[in-house]
Every structure is written in C-alpha cells, then in structure tokens.
C-alpha cells in the first residue's frame, strides 16, 4: 500500500480530524498572504496526553505540474504532560497554525494533519493568481 492511500479525508463539519484550510481564493503573484490550517474547528478533537494532533504539514502543488513543494511543518508538543501525571500539565498546544507564504503561480495547497491515534488526514485549497 502506498503512503498516499493511508491518508484519509472527509467533510470537516462532521469529521473532527480533517484539517481546515483558510486562505484567499485569489492572490497576487509575489505578494505575501496567510494560509491558516486548523483541526477540530467544527467538531473539536481531543487534546490530551494520550490523544492529540502531533503535527500539521503544508504542501503546494503548482497548477503547471511537476513535483509538490513542502512549505512547512508545525509540531505540537504540549498536551497536558506533567510530573504530576497525564493531563495535569499547565499547558496545551491547540492544533492551529498560520503559514505566511507567497506564490508565483496558481496551484493547490495540501494540508496534512497527524493524529497520534487515528493517523494522517488531508484537505486541499486551490489558489489562482490574479491581477
Ligand atoms: Fe484522533
């Protein structure tokens, strides 16, 4: 089985693992903008020592073809761990991250989020370049 076949997707309004991508639909070439990726916007995902979102990756696939580019990764390290015991820690990192980016041509952003128990999930967002 190819790795890509293990990545699941769905409707984020009913499936808490699907990453939500918020970004403009049309951008200007070479002008910075923000791509925000979060997990659990409509249906909250647990964030405990035992069950959490470990990381979010963002890729960009140019519409002209060729290979996908890895834009970045954010790893979430705080899920309630503590010397006092599981889920008694003073800090939890919530699975939302903003990637400042710019593009030179149209393409598709692909976000992949990793649940430590339920594996990798993905979603996509297309951008066009106007003006
Ligand atoms: Fe999960």
In which band, very low, low, confident or very high, does the pLDDT at 131 lie, cut at 50, 70 and 90? low
- Ligand 1 center–CA 54 separation, angstroms: 10
Start-to-end CA span in the chain (Å): 43
pLDDT tens sequence across 19-66:
999 999 999 999 999 999 999 989 999 999 999 999 999 999 999 999
* Domain 3-129 CATH (choose: 2.40.50.100, 2.60.40.730, 3.40.50.970, 1.10.3720.10): 2.60.40.730
Between the CA of 110 and the centroid of ligand 1 the distance, in Å, is 19
Quote the CA–CA distance of 103 and 105 in Å, as a whole number: 6
Burial class, 77, CB count within 10 angstroms (exposed 0-12 / middle 13-18 / buried 19+): exposed
Cβ atoms of 123 and 111 closer than 8 Å: yes
In angstroms, what is the span from residue 42 Cα to ligand 1's centroid?
14
State the catalytic residues. 15-17, 45, 51, 115, 118
d(CA 126, CA 122): 14
Q: How far is CA 19 from CA 8, 29, 61, 106, 117, in A?
A: 11, 25, 17, 21, 16
Q: For strands 119-129 and 26-27, give the pairing.
A: parallel
Give the Å distance between the CA of 117 and the centre of ligand 1. 5
Average pLDDT over residues 107-117: 98
12 SS3 class: coil
State the Cα–Cα distance between residues 5 and 122, nearest whole angstrom.
Answer: 11
Distances (CA, A) of 73 to 19, 24, 97, 128: 13, 20, 9, 23
Mean pLDDT, rounded, of the chain: 96
Cα 115 to averaged position of ligand 1 atoms, centre (Å): 5
How many residues in total does the chain contain?
131
């Amino acid at each position: 089985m190819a790795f890509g076949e293990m990545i699941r997707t769905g409707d984020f309004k009913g499936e808490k693992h699907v990453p939500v991508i918020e970004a403009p639909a049309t951008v200007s070439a070479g002008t910075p903008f923000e791509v925000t990726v979060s997990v659990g916007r409509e249906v909250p995902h647990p964030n405990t020592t035992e069950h959490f979102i470990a990381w979010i990756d963002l890729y960009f696939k140019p519409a002209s073809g060729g290979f996908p580019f890895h834009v970045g990764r954010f790893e979430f390290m705080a899920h309630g761990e503590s010397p006092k015991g599981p889920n008694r820690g003073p800090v939890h990192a919530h699975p939302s991250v903003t990637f400042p980016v710019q593009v030179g041509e149209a393409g598709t952003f692909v976000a992949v989020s990793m649940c430590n128990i339920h594996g990798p999930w993905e979603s996509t967002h297309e951008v066009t370049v106007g003006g």
